[in-house]
Amino acid sequence: MEAATAPEVASGSKLKVKEASPADAEGPQASPGQGAGSPTPQLLPPIEEHPKIWLPRALRQTYIRKVGDTVNLLIPFQGKPKPQATWTHNGCALDTSRVSVRNGERDSILFIREAQRADSGRYQLRVQLGGLEATATIDILVIERPGPPQSIKLVDVWGFNATLEWTPPQDTGNTALLGYTVQKADTKSGLWFTVLEHYHRTSCIVSNLIIGNSYAFRVFAENQCGLSETAPITTDLAHIQKAATVYKTKGFAQRDFSEAPKFTQPLANCTTVTGYNTQLFCCVRASPRPKIIWLKNKMDIQGNPKYRALTHLGICSLEIRKPGPFDGGIYTCKAVNPLGEASVDCRVDVKVPN
């Protein structure tokens, strides 16, 4: 008799084929030596549907969960009669105290109530039916917040700036860091303000600090779960001091205002009427203050009660009280100081009314 033909291989599945028995496919033939009560061999049921796993698209890349989250994976498969489904974790049997599995007719469920970082790894589902099998691999990554940076140091302070350095955290939370968050707080308010986010270096310069304030700094590590729960704080404060301003005074050159007398406004000729008071005016500039002398026809009239002479802020005036016909003539104002002298003249005519 011919050997039994093997079933076709399903796409993506592995097929294991056993050798055909010498017995006829229709049934075993009784040998002369067999007794009537000898047991007959049982045939396996025929495979109607090859085993195959339908892996959801979301599980074809690393499946990420946070510590404490629930993992509940439902993986559909096919196969008829019902295939045998088994799970492994990193090539070993599952820890049944943490992971539970339920296999149905058309799917298998992997369930973890509270995921821990130790649950990360490669999980493999194997579906077997006779000599055929199909496998699917799922990578699970359980992450948590990173630890804080190990230390932070204030390196330098100049002007309105401060330089910081820190070291990466020992524990990254089972995933790559996304960066660091740098914060500052002045000692007056004690409030923290973020100055840098998603920063990838382990040193930075904090600028635009306010003169007169003292600042402390801290740094958080950050990954996909968020910021670290704590952050190291600088032990030294950054004191932003006002730069000392040095005023250099220039030597004051004393100006010499000394000047010989000079008349800026001369006397003006005038005509007056007998019996009416008359005033003469002129202006003089000099330093030191000059001595003013009035003359009439080159005769000194100082002390004469008929005349009253006044000098104020360089304005010189001479009042002629009720002049008569003999008070006409040439009047002179002379200014004298140690640097020199100057004089101005005018003519005064006195008329008698008709």
Alpha helices in the chain (DSSP H): none
Can you give the pLDDT at residue 353? 82
DSSP codes, 281-332: EEEEEEESPPEEEEEETTEE-TT-TTEEEEEETTEEEEEE-S--GGG-EEEE
8 Å CB contact between 164 and 234: yes
User: Nearest CA to 159 among 220, 100, 230, 211?
Assistant: 211
Give CA angle at 250 (248, 256), nearest 5°.
Answer: 165
CATH class of the 259-351 domain in this structure: mainly beta
Tens of each residue's pLDDT in the chain, 354 residues: 233 333 333 333 333 333 333 333 333 443 344 444 445 555 567 777 888 999 999 999 999 999 999 999 999 999 888 899 999 999 999 998 999 999 999 999 999 999 999 999 999 999 998 889 999 999 999 999 999 999 999 999 988 999 999 999 999 999 999 999 999 999 999 999 999 999 999 999 999 999 889 999 999 999 999 999 999 999 999 998 887 677 777 777 788 889 999 999 999 999 999 888 999 999 999 999 999 999 999 899 988 889 999 999 999 999 999 898 888 899 999 999 999 999 999 999 998 887
Whether the link from the prior residue into 81 is cis, omega within 30° of 0, is yes
Can you give the pLDDT at residue 42? 54
Rounded distance between C-alpha atoms, residue 14 and residue 49, angstroms:
14
Q: In what order do the strands lie in the sheet with 291-296?
A: 270-273, 340-351, 329-337, 291-296, 299-300
Can you give the pLDDT at residue 326? 87
Domains 49-143 and 259-351 share a fold: yes
Instruction: Tell whether the torsion through CA atoms of 264, 267, 268 and 272 is positive or negative.
Output: positive
| C-alpha separations of 79 from 9, 106, 130, 172 in Å | 12, 8, 10, 43
Candidates 3.40.50.10470, 3.40.1360.10, 2.60.40.10, 3.10.20.310; correct CATH number of 49-143? 2.60.40.10
User: Residues near 13 by Cβ (< 8 Å), separated by ≥ 6?
Assistant: 50, 51, 52, 132, 133, 134
Beta bridge partners of 222: 179, 227
| C-alpha separations of 192 from 178, 183, 216, 258 in Å | 21, 6, 9, 68
User: Nearest CA to 268 among 317, 228, 232?
Assistant: 317
Extents of the domains making up the chain: 49-143, 151-240, 259-351
Question: In the CATH hierarchy, which fold is given to the domain comprising 151-240?
Answer: Immunoglobulin-like (2.60.40)
Rounded distance between C-alpha atoms, residue 260 and residue 13, angstroms:
125
Q: How far apart are the first and last CA of the chain?
A: 182
Tokens representing 269 are: 């000729």
Q: In what order do the strands lie in the sheet with 259-265?
A: 259-265, 278-287, 315-320, 307-312
